[in-house]
Structure 1
Amino acid sequence: MEQSKEQRERETHTHLKFTLTFNKGSNMGSTPSKPEFVTVLAKQQVPHGQHFILSCEANTEYVTVSWQKDGQKLDCVEGKHKVRQLGTKCVLEISKAEDADEGNYTITLSNSSGSASCSALVRIIIKEWRTVQWGQNRINSLKTFQICNKVEELRFLLYGPVGVGKSSIINTIRTIFEGRQFVNCLAAPGSTTSHTLCYEQFRFANEEGSFPFAFNDIMGAEEDSGVLTQDIVSALKGHMKEGYTFNPQTPLPINNHYYNQNPTLSDQMHCLVLVMPADRVSMLADNFIKKMKSVREEASRMGIPQVVFMTRVDCACQLTKEDLRNVYKSKKIRENMQKYANELGVPVNRIFPVLNYHEETQMQYEPYLNRIFPVCNYHEETHINEDINYLMLDAFTHVVYWANDYVVKFVSNQFHAE
């Protein structure tokens, strides 16, 4: 029997309704997509006290979200943390960033089909507490600097542990003044034995002429060996002549031909530069610190200014390693400067974090060919790096002025005494 038009329309509507209902039920009961990240968390550098947001996006909103910090479940504090999920977007908001908020944050998305995680490092940076004239080359002012006419040059004595970069400081400053990589002063960064065995003096010169600055390099200090404190004092007072070979067992005797019986102001040191590692503050033994302090105290009795060049800042702080211009925004660098101030008795404003140019060449032995191959390992920078220059010149400029002030004061005191 032929169906009427009204019956056919009613049956068609019923069939469509059943089909739509079935499909919807099928979607609701299906297995969810395995979580994947469309966008991941991004690492951040957050100024202290500011609000920051970590966010990412998933491929599905049907996930359970959990957050961790440094491998531990994140303890959310009301008013401090705010966790949100906006569709497929997952957000963690943290207000008033403080030191404790620094760390590695991980988000994990999970459902019955699996899980996925991603992480990002958040560093809390503090307000820059000391300014450097980045981008302004101060070398011209040093080249034209007029020292006191009672001496031919200002003399600086470098003193510090073995392998912290004393010789590399000389190489770095000569590189800046001469405009090319300079590695003539043998450097042993990271070494446990001193490469400086003789008392040497290094001066600076380029095609324009020489500069009135001289660095005296000595054998590195060690806890129970290395250069003797008596030899450091002899060098400070100008008694030690260039070329003397250090003896870790016996100080320079007064009857030795390398002993200057009557040193003048020009023979003396005009500034003591203590070279200390930024990454090994807590590793220095008490006996070694006592050695450093005794030398500094002798310099103080003579009126000689003392400063600290804190090397290896890139090894001490990842923030600084990534960008040297963050050196005075780093909490770690500031903390280590304060530690040295407390240990050595040198004011913080006379402690300068620096980065050296240096390279090590080690000899590798290939037994099959029975040959030795020199292989260069570049530990910091081997090309001209302007930021290294700016930071070192900022420190060196202060040192030059203080050394010259000492000479002027010494001459003035002599004049009034006469």
Structure 2
Amino acid sequence: DVLSVPRNVQEDHQYVQKYKPAHDNIRYLRVLLYGPVGAGRSSFINSVSNVIRGRISIPALAGATYSCQRFTTMFETHKFIKGRGNEKTIYPVVFSDIMGVEEGESRGVHEDDIKLALKGHVKEGHKFNPVSPLAEGHPDYNLNPSADDKVHVLVCVLSANYTLIKPSVLEKLKNVRETASDLGIPQMAMMTHIDEACGETEKDLKNVYKSKYLKKRVNFSAAVGIPLNCVFPVKNYSDEIDLKDDIDTLILSALRKMIDFGDDFIERM
């Protein structure tokens, strides 16, 4: 049951904090987030930073409110610092964020650019062009990607607020998923905005575990080909000024699964 109660928050936090990639020649487990605009990818990155650093922080720009406006336009890798003083280190899980998927051929990230990002061919800072995908020979094309440049986990981020995802958007998501499957890259999905979509969950985040409405919403995973046991409900940090265990629990549960999936893939590389 995808909405069953996750493991103890302290146990998951310790597991996440102590993680190191399976192979010494890979410094970072790379997670690529993709999905429709407004789903909360950048907000999830901010939320992970909060959990890793143990305080509210804002490393990734995000829209102030839920909207269908695109915000991320460039390929950007987000890294997190953990520890303090002489014990500061870069956390070995990084997140790549891209422009959102939109309806039509001339809006949003081109699906070919997502496929190139999976293989590590997109350089940091590349500005996406919806009508002209990156091609070999372009200065932003990484001809010889390292194992660190390649994606180890692909995560589809969708909002529980969506009533209908356009067929053309679903087709793009499906094509990306198929490419990732061909490459053997593990995949999962996150359902965001669960508090906005369900009144009972907004009152008490623990109600996510018994919300019949959210269980129905999780079925969106079938549309993009993600198994139900690989779909995770999350609530991103938004207007909170302090960390909250109920929010951390959901974020840590999803992050731990990303680590497990990605590390298995790294071992097979």
Q: What TM-score do the two structures reach when normalised by structure 2?
A: 0.92
Which residue identity lines up with residue 201 of structure 2 in the other structure? T
- Residues of 1 paired with 2:16 and 2:51: CA distance? 11
**RMSD in angstroms over aligned alpha carbons?**
1.6
Cα pair distance change 1:143/1:135, threshold 3 Å: closer
- Determine which of 12, 15, 20 is the counterpart of 1:146: 20
- Aligned residue number for residue 306 of structure 1: 187
1:265 shift after superposition: 2.1
1:128 shift after superposition: 9.3
**1:47-77 CA deviation, whole Å, 9 max, x = no partner?**
xxxxxxxxxxxxxxxxxxxxxxxxxxxxxxx
- Aligned residue number for residue 130 of structure 1: 4
Check if 1:199 corresponds to 2:79. no
1:154 shift after superposition: 0.1
- Residues of 2 paired with 1:254 and 1:129: CA distance? 43
Q: Percent identity?
A: 38
Check if 1:395 corresponds to 2:247. no
- Where 2:10 maps in the other structure, the secondary structure is coil
1:143 shift after superposition: 1.8
- Aligned residue number for residue 284 of structure 1: 165
- Where 1:283 maps in the other structure, the secondary structure is coil
- Where 1:408 maps in the other structure, the secondary structure is helix
8 Å Cα contact 2:2/2:229 also seen in 1: no
1:229 shift after superposition: 0.2
- Where 1:156 maps in the other structure, the secondary structure is strand
**1:354-387 CA deviation, whole Å, 9 max, x = no partner?**
00012xxxxxxxxxxxxxxxxxxx4xx3431121
- Structure (1/2) with the larger strand percentage: 1
Q: Map of 1:301-340 to 2, 5 A cutoff?
A: 301-338=182-219, 340=220
- Residues of 2 paired with 1:229 and 1:382: CA distance? 37
- Residues of 2 paired with 1:293 and 1:135: CA distance? 33
- Residues of 2 paired with 1:135 and 1:397: CA distance? 11
- Aligned residue number for residue 56 of structure 2: 181
The 4+ residue runs of structure 1 with deviation greater than 4 A are none
**1:96-151 CA deviation, whole Å, 9 max, x = no partner?**
xxxxxxxxxxxxxxxxxxxxxxxxxxxxxxx9951223553522222212312231
- Aligned residue number for residue 223 of structure 1: 103
- Aligned residue number for residue 139 of structure 2: 257
8 Å Cα contact 1:137/1:390 also seen in 2: no
User: Structure with the greater relative contact order (CA < 8 A, sep ≥ 6): 1 or 2?
Assistant: 2
- Residues of 2 paired with 1:395 and 1:163: CA distance? 19
- Residues of 1 paired with 2:119 and 2:59: CA distance? 27
Between Structure 1 and Structure 2, whose CA radius of gyration is higher? 1
- Residues of 2 paired with 1:220 and 1:210: CA distance? 27
- Residues of 2 paired with 1:231 and 1:408: CA distance? 26
- Residues of 2 paired with 1:128 and 1:245: CA distance? 36
- Residues of 2 paired with 1:128 and 1:227: CA distance? 29
Which residue identity lines up with residue 21 of structure 2 in the other structure? I
- Aligned residue number for residue 169 of structure 1: 44
Unaligned runs of 5+ in 2: none
Q: Map of 1:76-95 to 2, 5 A cutoff?
A: none
- Where 1:310 maps in the other structure, the secondary structure is strand
- Aligned residue number for residue 46 of structure 1: none
- Residues of 2 paired with 1:163 and 1:264: CA distance? 31
Which residue identity lines up with residue 169 of structure 1 in the other structure? F
- Aligned residue number for residue 234 of structure 1: 116
- Residues of 1 paired with 2:6 and 2:203: CA distance? 17
**1:79-99 CA deviation, whole Å, 9 max, x = no partner?**
xxxxxxxxxxxxxxxxxxxxx
Cα pair distance change 1:259/1:128, threshold 3 Å: closer
1:299 shift after superposition: 0.4
8 Å Cα contact 2:9/2:248 also seen in 1: no
8 Å Cα contact 1:134/1:387 also seen in 2: no
- Structure (1/2) with the larger helix percentage: 2
- Residues of 1 paired with 2:226 and 2:2: CA distance? 21
- Residues of 2 paired with 1:182 and 1:283: CA distance? 32
8 Å Cα contact 1:128/1:329 also seen in 2: no
- Aligned residue number for residue 265 of structure 2: 406
- Aligned residue number for residue 214 of structure 1: 94
- Where 2:79 maps in the other structure, the secondary structure is strand
- Aligned residue number for residue 297 of structure 1: 178
Cα pair distance change 1:258/1:129, threshold 3 Å: closer
- Residues of 1 paired with 2:125 and 2:3: CA distance? 42
Unaligned runs of 5+ in 1: 1-126, 359-377, 411-418
8 Å Cα contact 1:320/1:326 also seen in 2: yes
